Amino acid sequence: MSTVIKNGTIVTADLTYKSDVLIEGGKIVQIGENLKGDKELDATGCYVMPGGIDPHTHLEMPFMGTYSSDDFESGTRAGLAGGTTMVVDFALPNQGESLLDALKRWDNKSTRANCDYSFHMAVTWWGEQVWDDMDEVVNKRGINTFKHFLAYKGALMVNDDELFHSFTRCADLGATPMVHAENGDVVAELSARLLADGNNGPEAHAYSRPPQVEGEATNRAIMIADMAGAPLYVVHTSCEDSHEAIRRARMQGKRVWGEPLIQHLTLDESEYFNKDWDHAARRVMSPPFRNKQHQDSLWAGLSSGSLSVVATDHCAFTTEQKRSGVGDFTKIPNGTGGLEDRMPMLWTHGVNTGRITMNEFVAVTSTNVAKIMNCYPQKGAVLVGADADLVVWDPEKEKTIAAEGQQSSIDYNVFEGKHVKGLPRFTLTRGQVAVHDGEIRCEEGHGKFVAREPNATVNRALTQWKDLTQPRPVERSGIPATGV
Ligand code: DUC
Ligand code: ZN
Ligand code: ZN
Ligand code: ZN
């Protein structure tokens, strides 16, 4: 059974042209004029784009004494409703737990996914076991990204020596380290002082994590990655201080990527000064929302290319879960949702305002993600042979975002009341129509794990190339061991 998408305009990261797309066996088999298929999807007036890839989600994750409320079923359903056809979720080992045991837990949860998914592995503690497991994670499990928290002291945080060890290991394995960059020591100190002074409301969360803690940690991670000979992916870049460090590194030729979130691009710190405790607490996430100047910096980074992708950090908690932090802001579970709204919000505030082009929209929501994560062109492409993960985007379709009727299982939406113009007419996951004009036809369990190979041949940072007087043996890549 074949499907043809007819009369649309294909928009990729670099081209815009009119063509039909023929799909068979879950893959794109032909792109051209006047194609015929068993089933036709009409894309008149629409753009046919690679489905979104969200590189940063936390589905059903144990965190801060509870579990995030969207699981792989509701989370991927929300993603599909908004044009996202793949998520990359973080497998999070407990202290002392083997990485492989943590992965088993994630394997079990993800069997319910409605669309394809992959995992990043978090390094939440350090030891010989972790060192050993990393090899198997990369070479047997197809996971080439390792996340490190520089915040959450006493829980997930790793120290600089651990960071350096792990980054070195990543470099050797051809994996890419990622960082949640906030200085956890300073955050802990500021939080304690704020609480001692009687500042216990959600706004104190923002005061406890100023842009400087992010700028410092981002710069530190970049320098440590450079010394380890590893590239670096900085998650949820929220401010100019962090963006500046990323921009500088890229100008110096370092392989560093920054990931702003749709929340930081479109919501600002005034949300925390709302008199309604619930309103503010529902928006507590780390890093917190920033002021307009920081938002402008993030938008400039997307249009100039110094920031590479837009994610959600989807980590949804109900109002009831948030209320466990009444009287102590440090106990408000950190996290906000966004999977259903990332694409329409970015289109509305990015493409419709002229801040980014349609092609840049495709790049930052899909193609760049696939390239950095190394699953391109299986994902992130409209090419013959690619998976038919596609969104047929109707630029005239409008709605006002509301919790009522959303796919996410929580009871509110941080974008409530925002008007968006630009929504999916169809979302296809490997050729299967999962969404048609807002009508959800997902199939629980349809999603498959996407394995991602290491990037050995490009995995040497600049200083490694400069320091050719003392070359280190490189076993597994095409890079010669002695000089170039
Ligand atoms: N930040 C959040 O707000 N939630 C999940 C984890 C994180 O780093
Ligand atoms: Zn984080
Ligand atoms: Zn996160
Ligand atoms: Zn299926």
Q: Taking the model in full, what pTM does it have? A: 0.95
Give the tens place of pLDDT for each residue, 419-458: 999 999 999 999 999 999 999 999 999 999 999 999 865 5
Residues with beta carbon < 5 A to ion ligand 4? 443, 446
312 touches ligand 1 (CB under 6 Å): no
What 3-state class would DSSP assign to 184?
A: helix
Distance CA 400, CA 344 (A): 11
Which ligand is closest to the CA of 180, given by its number?
2
- Give the mean pLDDT of the chain: 94
With a 6 A CB cut-off, is 285 part of the ligand 1 pocket? yes
- What integer pLDDT is reported at residue 471 of this predicted model? 42
Q: What are φ and ψ of residue 454, in 5° steps?
A: -65, 165
Residue 92, ligand 1, Cβ within 6 A: no
Q: Is there an atom of ligand 1 within 6 Å of 180 CB?
A: yes
Ligand 1 pocket test target in 286, 339, 414 with most atoms within 8 Å of CB: 286
Q: Which ligand is closest in space to the CA of residue 434?
A: 4
Q: From atom 2 of ligand 1, which residue's Cα is the shortest distance away?
A: 335
Cα dist from 395 to 337, 362, 363, 429, 439, whole Å: 23, 14, 17, 20, 18
Structure tokens at 59: 């589905």
Provide CB contacts within 8 A for 362, sequence distance 6+.
Answer: 11, 12, 13, 49, 50
**CB-ligand 1 contact for 122 (6 Å cutoff):** no
Q: What is the pLDDT of residue 456?
A: 62
- CA 285 – ligand 2 centroid, Å: 9
pLDDT < 50 regions, the chain: 468-484
Q: Is 6 in the pocket of ligand 1 (CB under 6 A)?
A: no
| pLDDT of res. 473 | 45
Ligand 3 (single-atom ion) residues, CB below 5 Å: 313
> Ligand 1, from 124, 313, 329: best to mutate by most atoms within 8 Å of Cβ?
313
Q: Which ligand is nearest to the CA of 443?
A: 4
Q: How far is the CA of 70 from the centre of ligand 3 (A)?
A: 14
| Residue 61 CA, closest ligand 1 atom number | 5
- How is residue 16 written in tokens? 């815009």
pLDDT score for 455: 82
DSSP 74-90: HHHHHHHHTTEEEEEEE
Instruction: Point out which residues pair with 54 in neighbouring strands.
Output: 87
